[in-house]
Chains A and B, each alone.
Chain A
């Protein structure tokens, strides 16, 4: 049973560029959430997707956007990258919107130079 997978593992981008990160949820899960984890901090909620729509959003600017596909996989897009966007980006999936228990992928390490 495959868990949550994310790609790529590592990414280096230049300030001002755009980036797309990808996530495949655990088998049977239909809800995907994205988190940003800065160095020395806990994960911070970006947004959640369910039924191909953004259902909840944390305190992140519109430069952060996402998408969920019919197979429940998801993308996180960040435009106009800033140095402060350097972080570990975690994807988490859950059985449905009403499940507290979220299963995390290994993350994508984004470095903005």
Chain B
């Protein structure tokens, strides 16, 4: 049972345009969400995060939107650059240790979306 779903395995975008990566989750106990970027032969690199008390968080060209009622979040990259080409993982964590079956701060990842930015 996948608790974090990234339904698009891949996405191609022209340089300078907007990239939108989507993520859905099923576990209502998730309270904190993160996006990681992964280049080949490297470990995932933290990109941006959002707490469930917010619906938007910005950091430069990257913005994450959270729709808690729909259990959906998205990552917007504007403008997209060729160096953004990588696999992007959505991750989620419950906030408290009281959640049965998972400890706090334990990340559950989606399968990833491979973004290709075409020059």
Question: Which chain A residues have a beta carbon within 8 Å of chain B's beta carbons?
Answer: 4, 33, 35, 40-45, 48, 55-58, 90, 92, 94, 97-107
Contact = CB atoms under 8 A, between A and B. Distances in A.
Given A43-B44, A90-B44, A105-B43, A100 B103 contact: no
Contacts of B106: 33, 45, 48, 56, 58
A38 to B, nearest CB: 10
Interface of B: 4, 6, 32, 34, 36, 41-46, 49, 89, 91, 93, 102-112
B46 A103 contact: yes
A8 to B, nearest CB: 14
Given A42-B89, A42-B110, A100-B49, A55 B44 contact: no
Contacts, number: 64
Given A40-B111, A56-B105, A100-B105, 13 more contacts: A35-B109, A43-B89, A43-B107, A48-B105, A56-B106, A97-B105, A100-B49, A100-B107, A101-B49, A102-B46, A104-B43, A106-B41, A106-B43
Closest 6 CB pairs of A and B: A42-B109, A104-B43, A56-B103, A104-B44, A106-B43, A43-B109
